Amino acid sequence: MVTEAERKKSKDPRRRPRREAAATPPVLRKMVAATTTTAIGRRDLAVLLLGFALAARRSELRLLDWTDLEEVEEGLAIIGDAVTRAAARAGLTAPTKVLSDLPPCWSGHSLRRGFPTAAKQAGADLIETGRHGGWVDGSKSLAGYFEQAGMWDETNTLYGIGL
């Protein structure tokens, strides 16, 4: 039996997991445009792009070592276990003035969340997206990202039912 105190706790917004904003390609382009050509700016650029492309967690991105990257004909390939080893130290620094029009809930997780959001919007398969980002098949968090990404398109179950 659930007590009233437990019920109140569950409604407390501080008790619920916070959902970060998804860093989708349009947002990522703004972030990239805000980086500088300094060593720190180039590091930030690498972290942003690799974080998105790998759908990396913050901890994975922090662990990536340059020896994990290999130049191939098509570009850069991650060698080894890409999900557990991820890019140069992450402290994302972007000028606040330039990014002031972006939603307020940004974190390192925004890149991880942005990847499946953009993949869903581009018509990607849930399973393939999940495997690319290191989610287990049937991941509830990945399913949630896909569901939210399709909230306003034809994949929404309400789309086309005549309401």
Q: Which domains does the chain have, with CATH numbers?
A: 20-149 (1.10.443.10)
CB 146 within 8 A of CB 120: yes
Residues 6+ apart with CB under 8 A from 43: 88, 89
Q: Is the pLDDT of residue 122 over 60?
A: yes
Task: Write the pLDDT tens digit of every residue in 59-84.
Answer: 777 777 777 777 766 666 666 554 43
Q: State the average pLDDT over residues 140-149.
A: 85
Determine the pLDDT at residue 98. 41
* Range of lowest pLDDT (7-21, 78-92, 99-113): 78-92
Distance (Å, whole) CA 72 – CA 74: 5
CB 161 within 8 A of CB 155: no
Average pLDDT, the chain: 73
Determine the pLDDT at residue 84. 39
